[in-house]
Every structure is written in structure tokens, then in C-alpha cells.
Chains A and B, each alone.
Chain A
Amino acid sequence: MKPYEEVLKSFSFDISKEELGIKDGDVFNIGEICTDRICRMGKGSKLALIWEGFTGEEKKYTFDDMRQLTNSIAKFLRDDLGIKPGERVCLFMDKVPELYFGFLGVLKMGAIVQPLFSAFGPESLQTRLEDATTSAIFTQKKHLPKVRNILKDLPELKHIIVVDDDGSKPLKEKEIAFHMDKAERVDKFAIYPSKAETPSVLHYTSGTTGKPKGAQHVHNSIISQYITAKYVLDLHDDDIYWCTADPGWVTGTSYGIIGAWSNGATQCVLDAGFKAETWYKFIEKNKISVWYSAPTAIRALMKEGTEAVKKFDLSCLRHLASVGEPLNAEAVIWSQEAFGKMFHDTFWQTETGCIVVSNYPGMKIKPGSMGKPFPGITATVVDLKTFVPIEKKGIVGMIALEPGWPSMIRTYWNNETTYKSKFQNGWYLCGDRASIDEEGYFWFVGRDDDVINTGGHLVGPFEIESALLEHPKVAESAVVGKPDPINMEVVKAFITLKPGIEPDKMLELEIMNFVRKKLSALAMPQEIEFVDSLPKTRSGKIMRRVLRAKEWGEEIGDISTLENDM
């Protein structure tokens, strides 16, 4: 691996295109590049996926297995269900092999793949399927009731594909069983002739106001995802790679599918909840060499101590990287002590599609820093009002990127206005604040809006507040992020109750479970504070920032428009 400064001088995304064999105007498809192309390179018999379920069950697939099975899925969608290119096909599953191969299968037949986190409740699911007017959804038996509950409100949803139906209960209208492992293997499939700007992936992300937005990517994204996986995650041909992210979120697809397999890496997936011992055992057993995880997980491992690490032989680990929210200095230092390697923090977001700032391999790590811009990406911090780059070092501004890198989103689905509002003075604004030091390292400060980053997932306060208002005892609510040692932030709700309702612990639990079942566990307030009134402007708008400042022990700032004291 060449040093960062050297790569910086000569880098262009054309290097990635050349390595992938893509020329301007060419037909190319992410699904083909990750499967057929790897087989053509003579790696068909190499393991592509080593999967383990929570019961310990294991499945292994070679690149040739994956090539054929993704063809089977593509053929099933196109020929059996009549799905047309450009239609939206949702993946609503746990981290099972069908999720990973389904992603590539959908792309191979030209549809747009819409992965959604399987822990979403019916309301979160409905919002996103409604917005995308999704035609088909892949799911598992266990999630089928959530789909059935909302089906009547989704007239565009024509097919519900159940990947693990065992015939024990009859399927209902629009439902069809598809067993990937038993499906006829398709050796040859006419892959959809997508081009650079053909829509590929639709990832939903939360904002401060309004409903979640569908960040729309195109097949060209692979140009960035391939090369950043190779350079920043330092993936080599003989690596065994583990990306712990769920493909319901962008890390799980950009680097848990596209980046890894376009590089021909063998990838491990563990479909089980978090437990330090299980994770370490998984690394040891599979001899994982490159590990891409999240600060929340790292801090949870840290809580278990270095003694838990020493019980296992983890000498297989060669490179560690992290993404989701800023990785605190203590966690970086701890990883050196525990694993003999530092976690390399990386920064990017759903909209960027690829890593844009990182602690590049071989570069001096400053614990707690986000690192430096990836070669080929022009990043800076701009003034919060004028959007002009801040020249002076150490001054906080908003992280901004020069548009034009290959995996930048092309729009928000049905929401071009919001998409356009992300650009100011010729810069794409990330919505995060940071400063840059004398050596060019970026230092994260916080979000520039009310979006809550909990465990690396962005949660919009508006969606939670709307759900809370549906609870029969809630009069008003305001939702903010509260500092948390493991998850960086957790959701906290301030609630006023309807007249005659008295707060108690049972009601707190009732409201928590209400939100969890409606939206998701991520959105469930981890803490509820019942208050007599909420701070509002004279025009009646709830001032979340006053509540947030209180939680973070920060200055409240200008409260001249505040109508009442809390």
C-alpha cells in the first residue's frame, strides 16, 4: 500500500474504472461486477460468503454459487413475477444469505433495490414502501405479519416473497414462496444493460423534519465503493472480511456487499445479536483479517474488558476500521491494547455512498480524529452562514464536499427540492460540524440539525414525535438526543400528558413499547421525562434545541423567542 501523501498526488477515480474494466458510456451492472466478473477472473471456486446464524448453523457459498443464485433470483423476479427494470424491490430480512444475494439479483434484472432494516415496525415500513411505491418485497415468515398489517394501504405492492416458508401455515393473497437454496440454478442470465446513471439502490434516511427521504444511488457508485474498500479497508485478495453492519443501512450494502465482493473478498456474516464472546469466537474461527465495525459495538466490547479478548486467538486480525459515529480516542487506544491494532475511523453517510474522510492505512492515527479526505474527494468545512470554506485552522464549520464523486446520491426519491437544498455555494453540505487542524485532520463536533445519531443510525425526531402523539395519553412531545457512553446518543422524549393523566413508571414502559412496536427499537425513547409544558416559541413551535442543550450541558443560546419557561 502506497503512503497516503503519494496516493493523493496521483489519484483519480479513473484508476478504479480501469481496474474494473469500465469505460465511459459502457454498459455495466453492479450485480455482474460482484459475481460474474469475479468468476471470469478465475475465482469462481473461492468462497464469497461464510454465513452463521444465531443457532450456530453455517452456510458457505463460492463466487460461482453466488453468480448462479443471483441469476436465479433475477430470473424469478423478471420471468415469474414480471417485475420490470426501474421498479422498486424491497429487501426486508434479517442478515440471511437471501438478503445479500437478493440485493445483487435485483440489480442484475434492472430493478431498484430498497433494503430496509428488518427491525422496523409496521409504520416505519409503510412510510418507506408507500413513498417508493414498491412493487415487491422479500421477507421472512417472522416479519410477514408486519407486511400483512399494512398491505391494504399499499396498492402498488404486488408481490410478497417469503424466503423461508415451510408450508406450515397457508400463504395469503399476493404471497409467494421462494427458496433460494432449492431454486433451480441459472447458469446464464441476460443481465440488464445498466449504465453509469441507471438507478440502483434506494436507501431511506431520516431528517429533522418530514418523512424519511429515499437517497437514490446509481450503478456508477461502484467506482467509489470498489476503490475505497480496496484502499481504506485495505482489502487484499487473501483477506477474510467481516462488516458487522446490517444491509438495511448503507454501510451494510456499500461495504457489506458491493465494496467487498467487487474486490473478490471472502466475506463473513454473523446473523446474531451482540455478545462479545460470540463475536470473538466468530473472528477466531473464521480467521477474519479485516474487520469493519461501529463505535457502539467497539465501546460495548470495551466494556467487557481486555480479559475477554485474551481468551481468544485473534492474531488473524490485520486491519480494523470503524464507521457510524465518531470513534472516541479512548476506544482507539483501547483497541491497540486489546487487539494490538488501532481501529481506523472512517466518515461518510448514506448520501455520499462511500467513505469520504478516513484514517487511511499507514497514516499516523490521531485518536479521536476522523482522519483526512479520501484521495479524489475534496472536503472542507464551510462557514455555517456564508458557506464559504474556513481557511483558519481549528475553527468549527460544516463539513462540505465538492460534488461529483461517483457514488454521490443523484436525488431523494420524490423529493428533488430537499436534494437541491443540500447544495450551497457549490458545495454538498453533509449536515455535520467539524474543524480541521494544522495537519489537515478533521475533528468531528456534532450534527448541525436535530437528527439523532444512536448507535451509528440516524433517527429523525419528527417521526418519533408523530408516533408519540398517536398514544392516547400523550398531549405533546419533543424528542432529542441525549449523551450515552455506548451509543453516543440515545433517544430521549419529553412528554406532556393529557388532562387527568398522571405519570408513572408503567406509563413510561407503555409508551416505550408503543413506539418500539410502531417504529423500531432504535426509535424507542430510552428515557422519558414527563413535564408540565414544553419550551415553545411565541408562534408555538417546540424548541428542541433548548431541551437538547439541557441534556448536553451546553449553553442554551438565544432564547428571545421562547414563550415559556420549562
Chain B
Amino acid sequence: MAEITKDVILEYVKNEYLEEGDDRKVDFDTPLISGGIVDSFSMVSLKVFLETKYNIQIPDAKASPEAFDSVNNIIALLGEFGVK
């Protein structure tokens, strides 16, 4: 099983979803969905990234706004798929 690097996910979120010049501080607990950084439509691309990166399939039922709402929540979700 692939090894999670929290920093990899955080960097991906910053690079992909923050506008160039958007200097908001994003850390492991920053609300991504409810904070408006990743909208509900973009969540699909984040899901595809995680599935590709960690070679897993996340069922739609598990891909809730809550589960994707922070890097720490995402780490917890990935843990359910044996990614540590």
C-alpha cells in the first residue's frame, strides 16, 4: 500500500485549488469545502487525484463534503482504505 504524505495532499490542494496570488493560509485543519477553497464540483477532481495517487477506489457514498473538508479528514478517509 502506498504511504500517505500529508504534505503531498496539502501541496496538491494549494497548487490546484488556490488561485495564483491567493495568499490564504491553508493547513491540515483548514476547512476546504465549507471554507470555499474546493467547491462541490471540484471535489470530483480531488477524488480522482487521491484514487490515482494511492491506487484506490473511493465509493461516491464515502466521498462526502465532510470527508473532504480538511486534509486531516482526507487522511482519515484514506485510512479506511488501508492507506497509512
Contact = CB atoms under 8 A, between A and B. Distances in A.
B36 A273 contact: yes
B44 A303 contact: no
A400 B21 CA distance: 46
Interface residues of B, number: 28
A230 B35 CA distance: 33
A73 B66 CA distance: 39
Contacts of B33: 273-275
A518 B22 CA distance: 17
A271 interface: yes
Given A271-B36, A509-B52, A516 B20 contact: no
Contacts of B22: 141-142
A551 B81 CA distance: 30
Contacts of A521: 39, 41-42
A561 B11 CA distance: 50
A455 B41 contact: yes
A566 interface: no
Most buried by A among B39, B45, B64: B45
Interface string A53-96: 01100000000000000000000000000000000000000100
Interface stretch (A17-25, A143-151, A328-336, A552-560): A143-151
Given A278-B34, A300-B65, A505 B52 contact: yes
B36 A54 contact: yes
Contact of A516 (B34, B45, B64): B45
Contact of A275 (B23, B34, B52): B34
Contacts of B45: 509, 512-513, 516, 524
A367 B34 CA distance: 30
B65 A274 contact: yes
Contacts of B64: 303
Given A275-B65, A303-B64, A506-B52, A94 B36 contact: yes
Interface residues of A, number: 33
Given A144-B21, A524-B42, A273 B35 contact: yes
Contacts of B7: none
Interface string A8-41: 0000000000000000000000000000000000
Contacts of A141: 21-23
A508 interface: yes
A273 to B, nearest CB: 4
A119 interface: yes
A169 B65 CA distance: 34
Most buried by A among B24, B31, B38: B31
Contacts, number: 79
A274 B34 contact: yes
Nearest to A271: B36
B30 to A, nearest CB: 10
Contacts of A176: none
A261 B45 CA distance: 38
A272 interface: yes
A349 interface: no
Contact of B19 (A145, A272, A455, A509): A145
Given A54-B35, A303-B64, A524-B45, A273 B16 contact: no
A522 interface: yes
B46 to A, nearest CB: 10
Contact of A524 (B24, B31, B34, B44): B44
Interface in A495-541: 505-506, 508-509, 512-513, 516, 521-522, 524, 526
B36 A505 contact: no
Given A94-B36, A141-B21, A54 B65 contact: no
A272 B35 contact: yes
Contact of B42 (A54, A275, A506, A516): A516
B51 interface: yes
Contacts of B41: 454-455, 521-522, 524, 526
A523 to B, nearest CB: 9
B27 to A, nearest CB: 14
B73 to A, nearest CB: 12
Contact of B48 (A145, A169, A278, A508): A508
Contact of A509 (B23, B40, B48, B65): B48
27 contacts: A54-B35, A54-B36, A55-B35, A141-B22, A142-B24, A143-B19, A144-B21, A145-B19, A145-B21, A273-B35, A273-B37, A274-B33, A274-B34, A275-B31, A275-B33, A275-B34, A275-B69, A278-B34, A455-B40, A455-B41, A508-B48, A509-B49, A509-B52, A512-B48, A516-B45, A521-B41, A524-B42
What are the 9 closest A-B residue pairs judged by CB atoms, nearest first?
A: A275-B34, A521-B41, A142-B22, A145-B21, A273-B36, A145-B20, A521-B42, A505-B52, A512-B45
Given A142-B21, A273-B38, A273-B39, 11 more contacts: A54-B31, A54-B36, A272-B35, A274-B65, A275-B66, A300-B65, A505-B51, A513-B16, A516-B45, A521-B41, A522-B41
Interface of A: 54-55, 94, 119, 141-146, 168-169, 271-275, 278, 300, 303, 454-455, 505-506, 508-509, 512-513, 516, 521-522, 524, 526
